[in-house]
Amino acid sequence: MTQKFYDTIIIGSGSIGTPLAWQLSEAGQKVLVIDQFASSGQGSNKEAIGGIRATHSDPVKIQLCLKSLEVFSSWKEKYGDDIGWKQGGYSFVAYRETEEKTLKDLLVIQKKLGLEIDWYDNQDFLRIIPSLNPRGLLGGTFSPGDGSASPMLANLAMERMARAGGAEFHFQEKIECLKTKGDKVIGVKTDKEDYYASTVVNAAGAWAKEILLELNILLPILPESHEGGITEPVASFLGPMVVDIHPLENSANYYFYQNHTGQVIFCITPNPSIPGMDRRESSGFLPLVTRRMINLMPCLRNIKVRRTWRGLYPMTPDGQPIVGQLNGISGYLNAVGMCGQGFMLGPGLAVELRKWITGGDIESATKLLAPYTLYRDFGGTEQLK
């Protein structure tokens, strides 16, 4: 058998791997994407609800997501596919002074970083989201530049572009181990074949940890499961993503928006979190999330829930991604631990990793992504996860 050589092998055809394949193949690289599932996006990409915001508190995330927003918002115009982009903005609501303070404190940092976001008092805020429960509403922040897209459609569109650029996709193929030579990763061994490449990128999301186990490297990734749901489509009534960060019994924040088809997509962060790889739906989610949503937006009582699912957040101890090289080992890059934000980070990260991998502007990319090194102190936590 002849050996198969690629410039870059990407493990995982999800929210990170697929845009990266597109970016690298566009740069002229010979790319192979290997995924354990039957088609692209079948891991956690399709479980994502589709929100895309630049309004974070971490400067790197802000920069990456601004790039992602650019990709998502101009996709149809540039490449033709309808990926369900909707620029509805993001809103964070406050019904208590605690949340008002958190949001307003954050606003200072976000404005300093040049983000388009403002605080609106209750009546002004109701003009942006008329269906909110007015009782006790203090106000909230609104960032009109943020938006949403369909993770599945976006992933398929990027796969299409990657293939157009010559990228190969191998599905239903499992990585058995990385192939190394001395202190260099030279390829991967799968349950079907061996492949060789100058660079191997681990973009395996919640499944990323296993890839490095044989090298005795432990990625601090602890997948957690979150559940989401989608309703029937209704006439447009809700512009932005609505996020409520008020923690209550059994849940931290929750968020929902009306997508391009008119359906409301929603998700809740369980408290305490549910560690593990369980992707099977549980009975507690719907009563918990629907009650909170109706309290916030009473008209939702009449909307019908269509489907619910459960997906994985590959969490890191500090809530920030792990991107970059391994110490003392070349030919390998991490692009893992997206903590549930892989979809919005994906295209932006791909643009940066393209520079890194193809040698375009290594310096700026490595500098930007330096805080995401595996060798950082994982002590800190991000304010708005």
Partner 1 sequence: MTQNRLTTHPILPIADRDVFDFKWSGLVFQACAGETIASALFANGVRIFGIHPKDGSPQGIFCANGQCAQCTVVANGIPVKACMTPIRPGMVIEPLNTLPKLPHIQIQPQYTPVQNLDIDCMIIGGGPAGLSAAIELGTRNISAILVDDKDQLGGKLVLQTHRFFGSINACYAGTRGIDIATRLAKLVSEQASIDIWRNSTVVAVFSDQKVGVVRNNNEYVLVKPKVLLVAAGAREKSLTFKGNTLPGVYGAGAFQTLLNRDLIHCSKRLFIVGGGNVGLIAGYHALQAGIIVEGLVEALAECGGYKVHKDKLARMGVPIFTSHTVLSANGHDSVESVTIAAIDEKWKPIPGTEKTYPCDTLLIAVGLDPVDEFSRKAKEYGIPTFAAGDSDEVAEASSAMFSGKIKGLEIARSLGYDVPKVPEEWIKTSEILRSKPGAENKEPPIVEEEDVYPVIHCSQEIPCNPCTSVCPQSAIYIDDLDIRHIPEYIGKQLGVHCIACEKCVAICPGLAITLVDRRKQVDETALVTIPYEFGKETIKIGDQVLVVDTGGSVLGRVEVVRTRLAINTDRTIMVKVRAPLVIANKIAGIEIQNPEICASFEQFVERLTDDMVVCRCERVSLAEIKAIISSGVRDMNQIKAITRAGMGACGGKTCGNIIKRAFRDLGIPMTQITEPVARPLFVEVSMGVLAGITTESGEE
Work out whether 170 is an interface residue with partner 1 (CB under 8 A): no
Query: Closest CB to partner 1 among 16 and 289?
Result: 289
Cβ atoms of residues 161 and 79 within 8 Å: yes
Choose between 117 and 293: whose C-beta lies nearer to partner 1: 293
Residues 145-164 that bind partner 1 (CB under 8 A): 152-153, 156
Dig out the tokens for 197 from the structure: 């490449």
Q: In whole angstroms, give the CA distance from residue 18 to residue 162.
A: 8
Which CB, 183 or 232, lies closer to partner 1? 232
Partners of residue 229 on adjacent β-strands: 266, 308
Radius of gyration of the CA atoms of the chain, in A: 21
The Cβ of residue 310 has, within 10 Å, a number of other Cβ atoms equal to 17
If one asks whether residue 294 binds partner 1 (CB under 8 A), the answer comes out as: yes
| Rounded Cα–Cα distance for residues 316 and 320 (Å) | 6
Least distance to partner 1, CB of residue 256, Å: 10
The three-state DSSP-derived secondary structure of 158-177 is: HHHHHHHCCCEEECCCCEEE
The pattern of x and - marking residues 86 through 125 that bind partner 1 according to CB under 8 A reads: ----------------------------------------
Pairing outcome for strands 194-202 and 31-34: unpaired
State the DSSP H helix or E strand holding residue 256, giving kind and residue range, or none if neither: strand 251-258
Question: Which lies closer to partner 1 via its Cβ, residue 202 or residue 231?
Answer: 231
Among 233, 330, 373, 378, the residue binding partner 1 under the rule CB under 8 A is 233
Residue 13 lies near partner 1 (rule: CB under 8 A): no
Stretch of 115-123, 129-137, 210-218, 314-322 lying at the interface with partner 1 (CB under 8 A): 129-137
Minimum CB separation of residue 284 from partner 1 in Å reads: 8
Residue with Cβ nearer partner 1 (21 or 152)? 152
Does residue 267 bind partner 1 (CB under 8 A)?
Answer: no
Closest Cα partner for 261 from 239, 240, 232?
232
Q: Assess contact for 298 and 284: CB atoms under 8 A.
A: no
Stretch of residues binding partner 1 (CB under 8 A), selected from 61-69, 71-79, 275-283, 330-338? 275-283
Q: CB-wise, 133 or 366, nearer to partner 1?
A: 133
Q: Residue 185 CB: number of other CB atoms within 10 A?
A: 22
The answer to the question of residue 321 lying near partner 1 (CB under 8 A) is: no
User: What are the two backbone dihedrals, phi and then psi, of residue 140, each rounded to the nearest 5 degrees?
Assistant: 180, 175
Give the end-to-end CA distance of the chain in Å, rounded to a whole number: 48
Q: Interaction with partner 1 in 27-66: which residues (CB under 8 A)? A: 37-42, 46
Residue 298 in contact with partner 1, rule: CB under 8 A: yes
d(CA 197, CA 34): 13
Omega within 30 of 0 (cis) for the link into 272: yes
305, 371, 376, 378: which one contacts partner 1 (CB under 8 A)? Answer: 305
Residues that bind partner 1 (CB under 8 A): 37-42, 46, 130-131, 133-135, 152-153, 156, 171-172, 231-237, 262, 278, 280-284, 286-287, 290-291, 293-295, 298-309
